[in-house]
A and B are shown apart, each in its own frame.
Chain A
């Protein structure tokens, strides 16, 4: 399929999309909703009219070929794109019904509720202990006992406690890649967010470490809402409840994961999932 045909298909799809969303919207457990979200990097129109919802205590996966805007989209859920120079956002992203790009909203506070895990594990060059308590400390938590509890709880939840409990004062950079990524998850859990964004969290890990993280994501669902960007379709199929397929900056199809993978409504989605391009 050549590019022109693809682009044409993309245009037809936009209309049919709203119908999907209405279906999923039923129920009152929506935590994030973006409406007509557009984003530019200087002149590059990276996100085009995205309409999407995220349900509470579910795992939502965003898939699509490289450069389709999936990382950009997930970064706009906690305003991490603010860091990038020349980035302009239009439209709204509502978190608990409040537009996070609205007036008087503090990006820092939003990020306290919507944490993020990055593609490459990025523990700070400090001890494991300081890494975990970095978040609570910058949010002015000073109670020693509480900090200890947070430390243990978050490491346990990230299934890392047993591996590191005897060397909490060691540098976090001495951990293996998989351990580092779980440490980053624990670090995010320590600030008790409501939503955890994960930007290809396993792309730099080996299969065993990946399996551990996937298991962990499944456990996290009980308490948290997870949005995960992945280039690995099997991963999306395995762990997510909802899946969004993006292509060239547009949201092509959004629905329950089962439906997307077994019965995609759009030809583009089908082609991508069956591996005809990507």
Chain B
């Protein structure tokens, strides 16, 4: 032993750390700071919203704000701030959108994941993803010009600007989100589940409905919740099509009633209020309500998604459900309590929508059915729960229909529907599958059709406007003539600026989360922050930009304020895609590099990052697409309709395609062709970015051979 020590003793200093400076620690610190930024921004947004709402709630009592329906903010003698109709309108229009989008979206997802032939499925998947990039102002433009006209002329509504058109447009916008997330959930149910079910002689539909959908249920729920979040936070399309009247639909099923939403109110009014006036504060108070709603929605969705992933990995223990402290009594009588709550709810609904006598009659019929069933067969009540739920559901459905048609038609429609479901139930499995598959295919067809109609309309109406002059000249006569060159330049400047600010921070944060973060409370907070930033409505970013960049930092309405606001908005997308693509690089690359004596940062920067580059690029381009299509964040921070020259400095305001289209469509009469042309240019710009991103990702997945 002594001998070895003697031989080598003199030259073992070469193993030692040189100096006190450790690059790795510095890098770690910088990355941690970038990752924390996202969380800080979330808290900062909350803080600024409250700070700008300021003493609003001291002047206007919370009950009045939430439950009064007089919204007269500009009344000189006695301004009133009752937001009941506005908050209700937000929820109603989103609910209506969900009624349309959820069945369509889920059925389309089933079609893509399980039924369509591989080629069609691939094509549909790519198109749906592509369509998720269509800017909301383009949807709004379509809704305003075509859908509203159709609803007025064909369906006979007094005005085209209705709850219905808002919900339809929102449904089409939420479709890509719901389809993509639900399709992911369905496809990630392991193949051997399908095989096990099919091997027992089940039909494909039985396999789908009894094995695959239950397996994917939390993922699908998350899809629905995310779609709901998108619908509630959407600004431009809703603002353009719903009419913005401060009314509550009467009766509540009056889908031809106009509506006003939180986002619409902020979008319309914020541009005209003096900073720090009571009205200004009231709009921030509305933004707080909006933020809280989406915050809760996001938290729920993320909770469900993380549970779903755990379930897929088999980590979810059945114990975890019992960890929530529920008294034993409630646990034992869970079913009774559920029934009790349901019937109370049902009774309450009945008394609300019918007079007492009708309500009693309907309840008596229900009780009668239950009694008859008990007498003629000795089964437990359990066996009939579907029948009872059905009865409740159809009573409500009949009432909804009755407000649209007369009672006889409504009851007939309900009976027809019930009969159809009954027949479907007793069909033999193969015929049942045929019927169901046709329904699913039709639903998928409708989804695709609705999206393509919009694209077709924009293209066919926009093309005549496209000339060389249109693309290269400034607009004239308030946009009725001339071109859109300055807007194209403005949009590009805003997008490029946003990317320049967001990419370094976003990529650094993504690297931190995938390579350095240890699972612990800090990482959890950072992740929650990023997830919530991702789901925050773009108009809230707009308000943040206004309060912080424009007013507090005194940038004024300027390009840089818009770029920074957009940068914050796309930050989560970039963080997420970076994290995912870095995580997908096999551990063996890192070990191979470390074993050659590299530092951690060397192995990340020289091996991992180059390999993850295509994924990071995809995130970057998606971020660009999103930034260039957004209107709400630049509404109060950067965009102006008319400006003498192209912006030469970052503190000058800019013109932008989205804002130009918005103004043309809503305030400049006789500018339809120009507006359609602008919409087409915007659409093409965004679609190019999205398809490029999808192409990069797909070709990278194909090429990847480690």
A residues at B contact (CB < 8 Å): 25, 28, 30-31, 33, 78, 80, 83, 85, 94-98, 100, 104-106, 108-113, 115-116, 118, 120, 122-126, 134-135, 138-139, 173, 184, 187-188, 191
Contacts and interface: CB of A to CB of B under 8 A. Distances in A.
Contact of A111 (B3, B594, B607, B611): B594
A116 B591 CA distance: 9
A28 B4 contact: yes
B594 A80 contact: yes
A140 B3 CA distance: 33
B7 A96 contact: yes
A173 B592 CA distance: 14
B518 interface: yes
A188 B594 CA distance: 11
A83 B15 contact: no
Nearest to B585: A125
B596 A106 contact: no
B200 interface: no
A125 B590 CA distance: 12
B595 interface: yes
B110 to A, nearest CB: 37
B17 A105 contact: yes
B8 interface: yes
B595 A188 contact: yes
Interface SS of chain B: helix
Interface in B584-607: 586, 588-599, 602, 606-607
A30 B4 contact: yes
A61 B592 CA distance: 21
A28 B596 contact: no
Nearest to A56: B4
A184 B592 contact: yes
Contact of B15 (A95, A118, A122, A139): A95
Given A97-B5, A184-B592, 9 more contacts: A33-B1, A96-B8, A111-B597, A112-B597, A116-B591, A122-B586, A124-B593, A124-B611, A187-B596
A83 B591 contact: yes
B468 interface: no
14 contacts: A28-B7, A33-B1, A78-B595, A96-B11, A97-B4, A97-B7, A98-B8, A106-B15, A118-B588, A124-B611, A134-B596, A134-B607, A173-B706, A191-B597
B190 interface: no
A85 B590 CA distance: 15
A122 B606 contact: no
B7 A109 contact: no
Interface residues of B, number: 35
Contacts of B336: none
Q: Which of A106, A122, A188 has the most CB of B within 10 A?
A: A122
B109 to A, nearest CB: 33
A80 B705 contact: no
Nearest to A187: B596
Contacts of B599: 108, 138
A96 B10 CA distance: 10
Contacts of B595: 78, 80, 111, 115-116, 118, 188
Nearest to B704: A125
Nearest to A174: B705
Contact of A109 (B4, B11, B597): B597
Contacts of B607: 124, 134
Interface in B1-32: 1, 3-5, 7-9, 11-12, 14-18
Given A104-B16, A173-B706, A126 B9 contact: no
Contacts of A188: 595-596
Q: Which of B15, B590, B593, B594 has the most CB of A within 10 A?
A: B15
A100 B8 CA distance: 14
Interface string B601-617: 01000110011000000
Contact of A83 (B5, B594, B610): B594
Nearest to B13: A98
A120 B706 CA distance: 11
A122 B589 contact: yes
A111 B596 contact: yes
A90 B607 CA distance: 31
Given A30-B4, A96-B4, A125-B610, A109 B594 contact: no
Contacts of A134: 593, 596, 606-607
A108 B15 CA distance: 8
Nearest to A27: B3
B7 A139 contact: no
Contacts of B18: 106
Given A105-B17, A111-B594, A98 B606 contact: no
A109 B15 contact: yes
A27 B599 CA distance: 36
B598 A138 contact: yes
Contacts of A139: 597
Contacts of B4: 28, 30-31, 33, 94, 96-97
Given A83-B591, A108-B597, A125 B706 contact: yes
A108 B611 CA distance: 22
Given A33-B4, A135-B597, A109 B14 contact: yes
B596 A118 contact: no
A110 B3 CA distance: 21
A118 B591 contact: yes
A138 B589 CA distance: 15
Contacts of B14: 109
Q: Which of B518, B595, B611 has the most CB of A within 10 A?
A: B595
Contacts of A100: 15
Interface in B412-458: none
Nearest to B586: A122
Given A28-B3, A104-B17, A184-B592, A96 B12 contact: yes
A108 B706 contact: no
Given A125-B611, A135-B597, A173-B705, A118 B602 contact: no
* Nearest 6 CB-CB pairings of A with B: A96-B8, A112-B597, A28-B3, A122-B588, A116-B595, A98-B12
Contacts of A118: 588, 591-592, 595
Nearest to A25: B1
A122 B16 contact: no
Nearest to A32: B4
Nearest to B17: A106
Contacts of A187: 592, 596
Contacts of B12: 96-98
Nearest to A82: B594
B505 to A, nearest CB: 26
Nearest to A28: B3
Nearest to A124: B607
A87 to B, nearest CB: 13
A124 to B, nearest CB: 5
Interface in B329-367: none
B596 A135 contact: yes
B148 to A, nearest CB: 53
A145 to B, nearest CB: 21
A125 B8 CA distance: 38
Contacts of A112: 596-597
B408 to A, nearest CB: 70
A159 to B, nearest CB: 20
Nearest to A105: B15
Nearest to B596: A135
Contacts of A97: 4-5, 7-9, 12
Contacts of B592: 118, 122-124, 184, 187
Contacts of A98: 8, 12, 15
A188 B308 CA distance: 43
Contacts of A123: 592
A58 to B, nearest CB: 14
A27 B598 CA distance: 34
A124 B586 CA distance: 10
B365 to A, nearest CB: 63
A110 B597 CA distance: 7
A109 B596 contact: no
Interface string B211-252: 000000000000000000000000000000000000000000
